[in-house]
Amino acid sequence: MSNKPTFTSAAEAEAAFYEALARSDLDAMMAVWSEDEEVVCVHPDNPRLVGLASVRESWRQLFTGKVKLSVRTSHRVVTATMQLEVHSVIEHIAVEGEKRLQPPMVATNVYMRGALGWRLVMHHASAAPENPHAARPDAPRIVH
């Protein structure tokens, strides 16, 4: 029996993901992730990590750095089925103690619904291109 929280929606799991990130809380972060060994995480400018052990270690290293991040998301685009949701967001990151804002990141978060609710199976974040039109809500959405 798992004592992980049950997320009743992908949006609830995503909120828990960003809250855990802001608190540098490894246990809360890993509670959001699926227990499937095929989970994938790509941090900005880093290689693809596959498997729970690698994903956990990457977050442990990030949180050990004592850097507190505040992340606000915007421009969410959701693609959903009954069992799977893909969220594409822009992450606006502030580092505690720094006056200047970090460049925005683009992130894709993939959630899968299982017996114990919604869980994160993939997080991929990278630097957003320097395109002044990318953050406009009325900018065209290009799919390739």
- What's the pLDDT tens digit per position in 119-135? 999 999 999 887 545 44
Rounded Cα distance between 49 and 62, Å, is: 14
pLDDT score of 83 more than 50: yes
* Rounded distance between C-alpha atoms, residue 43 and residue 62, angstroms: 10
Query: Which residue in this structure is represented by tokens 């103690």?
Result: 97
Model confidence over 23-41: pLDDT tens digits? 999 999 999 999 988 999 9
pLDDT for 142 equals 47
Tell me the mean pLDDT in the region 17-23.
94
CA-closest candidate to residue 14, choices 69, 67, 85, 70: 85
Predicted confidence at residue 1, as pLDDT, reads 43
Provide Rg for the chain, Cα atoms: 15
Instruction: Set out the domains of the chain in order of their start, with CATH numbers.
Output: 10-127 (3.10.450.50)
Q: Are strands 69-80 and 84-95 parallel, antiparallel or unpaired?
A: antiparallel
Q: How far apart are CA 120 and CA 141, in angstroms?
A: 24
In the chain, % of residues over pLDDT 70? 89
Mapped onto helix, strand or coil, the DSSP state of residue 88 is: strand
